[in-house]
Structure 1
Amino acid sequence: MPHIQTDDHVQLYYEATGQGAPIIWVHEFAGDHRSWEAQVRFFSRRYRCIAYAARGYPPSGVPASMDDYSQARAARDIGCVLDALRIERAHVVGLSMGGFAALHFGLMFPERALSLTIAGVGYGSEAEHADTFRRLSHQVADQFEALGSPGFAPIYAEGASRVQLQNKDPRGWAEFVEHLSQHDAAGAARTMRGVQARRPSLYTLQEALQGLDVPALIMTGDEDDHCLQPSLFLKRTLPRSGLLVLPKTGHTINLEEPDLFNRAVLDFLHSVEAGRWTARDPRATQEIMKVAADPRPRP
C-alpha cells in the first residue's frame, strides 16, 4: 500500500491515478479516499488524481494524541501529500471537512493552489448554531466510542442532510454506510473533537478570505441547510469565486449527483486553465442601476 509520511511522522495512505495536471481530492468526515471513486474514474482520463485517507482513517495512521488533530493540521497534510509526490501546485477539491481543509490550505499556501473547489462547507459557522454544533460534535464522538463504527454508521447516515442520498440511490447509500462502518472509531472520535468541533467559523476569516486571490468554485445542495448561508457568504467574500447550488440535494453532493458534480468541476477547471475564471466585474456589485441621462426612447 502506498503511504507518505507527514512532517509530524504520520503515515497517510494515498492512491494516484492518471496523468496530467494534478487534482488532490480531500474527503469529508463520514467518507474516506473511496468516496471519490466516481470522480477519480472520470477525471483520471485527463488529470492526475490523488485521493488520500486523512489521519485517523485507516489505512492511514491513527494518532493517539488529540494534539495531532486540528483544522490547521488537516490543511498542512494536503501539502505533505503534494510534497511527497513532488507536486508543486494542484487543483484542490474538498467536500465538507475536506472543503474546510481545502479552503484553509488556500489561505495558508495560496501559491500552491491552482484552484479550490469548496463543496458542502459551512457547518458550525453560523453564530446562532455554533454552540449546538460543538455540542453535537462531541455527542457524535461519544457515540462512535460507545457504539463503535458498525453500530453508529447507520444512525449517522440518516442525518437530515444525508437522507437525500438514501432516497435517490439506496445502493449508493448502503455502500456509504458500509464504508463508514469500517472506520476506526477512535480516529473518528478524535477527528470530530479535534478538527470539527474546534475549527473557526468562516465568518471570523472574512478579511483573510477577501485577500485570497485563487479561483474558487463553491458548491452546495439546496437541502443542506447549514451550508446555504455560509456558501453565499463565501461567494460574496472570495474575490474569484462562483457559486453552484444543486436542487433537491443534501450534503454528499459528489455521491448524490456525480454527473452534475463532475461536469461542474470539469467546466470550472477548464475555465481556470483558460484564464477565464476572473474576479467579479466591479460593475456587478453596484446596488443602484444606472439610468441614462436622457431616458426618452430612441428611434
Structure 2
Amino acid sequence: MPTITARDGTALHYEEAGSGTPILFVHEFGGDWRSWEPQMRYFTRRYRCITYSARGYPPSDVPTDPERYSQAIAVDDMVDVLDGLGIDRAHIVGLSMGGFATLHFGLRHPDRARSLVVAGAGYGAEKAYEDYFRGVSMEVARQFEELGAPVFAKVYAQAASRIVFQVKDPRGWEAFARELGEHSSIGSALTMRGVQARRPSIYDLEAELRTMTAPTLVVVGDEDDHCLQPGIFMKKTIPASGLLVLPKTGHTLNIEEPALFNQFVSDFLATVEQDKWPPRDPRSLPGEIMKTS
C-alpha cells in the first residue's frame, strides 16, 4: 500500500487517481480514506484526487503516544501528504474533523490552498455546548478503549445527526457503520482525546477567519443541528465564502447525498478556477434591509 512518511515518522496511507489540478480529501472522525469513494470516482474525471487515512486510522500508523495527536499535527500531516506527492497547491475538501482541519489549513497555509470546502464542521464550536462536547468526547474515547471499535461502532453510528442517513439509505449507512467498526480502537480513542476534545472553537478563530483569503464553500445538512449555526457564523465571517445547506440531510454529507455534494462542489471548484469567487462586495451590508438614500 502506498504511504507517505509524516515529519515525525508516522506512515500515512494514501490513494490517488486522475490528473489535473489536485484535490486533497480529508475524512471525518467516523470515516477513513474509503469515505471519499463517491468523490474519487466522480472528480477524477477532471482532477488529480488524493485521499488518505489520518494517523490512528489503519492502514496508516497508529501512534500510541497521546502527544502525537492534535489539531496542529493533523494540519501538518496534510502538508506532508502534499509535499510527499510534490504538490504545491491544491483544493482542500474536508468533512467534520476533516472540515476543521481544512479550516486550520486555510489559516496556516493560505499559499497552499486553491480553495477550501468546509463540510459538516461545528461540533464543539457552539459556546453553550463547549464543555458538554469535551466531556462527551472523553466518554466516547473511553468506550472505544473499553468496548472496542467493533462493538462501540454500533452505538456511535446511530448518533442523532446520522439517523437521517440510516433512514433514507440503509445500505449506505450499514457500509459506513461496518467500516467504522473496522477502525483501530486505540487510534479512535487517541484521536478523540487529542484532536476532537482539544481543538479550539470556530468562534475563537473569528479574528483570523476575517482575514482568510481562500475561496471557501461551507456545507451543512439542515438536520445536522450543531453545525448549522457555526456554518452561518463562518459564512458571515470568512470574506470569500458561500454557504450551502442540503435539505433533509445529516452529518455524513458526502456519502449521504453524493450527487448533490458532487454537483455543488464541482460548480464551486470550476468557479474558483475561473477567478469568479471573490470576497463579498462591501456594498452588500448585512445590516441594511432596504435602500432609502
TM-score band by shorter chain is over 0.9
User: CA 1:291/1:27 → structure 2, altered by over 3 Å: closer, same or farther?
Assistant: same
User: CA 1:195/1:286 → structure 2, altered by over 3 Å: closer, same or farther?
Assistant: closer
After superposition, give the CA deviation of every residue in 1:66-113 in whole Å (9 maximum; x if it has no partner).
110000110111100000000000000000000000110111100000
- Does residue 13 (structure 1) correspond to residue 6 (structure 2)? The answer is no
Deviation at 1:285, TM superposition (A): 1.5
User: Which residue number in structure 2 is paired with residue 295 of structure 1?
Assistant: none
How do 1:103-182 and structure 2 match up within 5 A? 103-182=103-182
- For 2:205 and 2:63, the matched residues in 1 are separated by 28
- For 1:43 and 1:164, the matched residues in 2 are separated by 26
1:19 partner amino acid:
S
Report runs of 4+ in structure 1 exceeding 3 Å deviation.
Answer: none
1:148 partner amino acid:
G
Deviation at 1:154, TM superposition (A): 1.1
1:241 partner amino acid:
S
After superposition, give the CA deviation of every residue in 1:107-151 in whole Å (9 maximum; x if it has no partner).
110000000000000110111100100010000001101111110
- For 2:274 and 2:5, the matched residues in 1 are separated by 34
- For 1:283 and 1:290, the matched residues in 2 are separated by 11
Any idea what SS the aligned residue of 1:282 has?
A: coil
- For 1:134 and 1:286, the matched residues in 2 are separated by 33
User: Which residue number in structure 2 is paired with residue 37 of structure 1?
Assistant: 37
- For 1:215 and 1:156, the matched residues in 2 are separated by 33
State which structure, 1 or 2, has the greater radius of gyration over its C-alpha atoms.
1
Deviation at 1:286, TM superposition (A): 4.8
User: Which residue number in structure 2 is paired with residue 95 of structure 1?
Assistant: 95
2:117 partner amino acid:
T
2:109 partner amino acid:
F
Any idea what SS the aligned residue of 1:121 has?
A: coil
- For 2:285 and 2:161, the matched residues in 1 are separated by 32
- For 1:95 and 1:287, the matched residues in 2 are separated by 31
User: Which residue number in structure 2 is paired with residue 291 of structure 1?
Assistant: 292
Any idea what SS the aligned residue of 1:264 has?
A: helix
TM-score normalised according to structure 2 size: 0.99
- For 1:31 and 1:62, the matched residues in 2 are separated by 15
- For 1:85 and 1:175, the matched residues in 2 are separated by 30
- Does residue 278 (structure 1) correspond to residue 267 (structure 2)? The answer is no
2:186 partner amino acid:
A
Deviation at 1:281, TM superposition (A): 1.1
2:277 partner amino acid:
W
User: Which residue number in structure 1 is paired with residue 77 of structure 2?
Assistant: 77
After superposition, the CA RMSD in angstroms is: 0.7
1:176 partner amino acid:
F
After superposition, give the CA deviation of every residue in 1:17-75 in whole Å (9 maximum; x if it has no partner).
00010000000000000000000000001100000000000000001111100001101
User: Which residue number in structure 2 is paired with residue 60 of structure 1?
Assistant: 60
Aligned residues: 292
Any idea what SS the aligned residue of 1:214 has?
A: coil
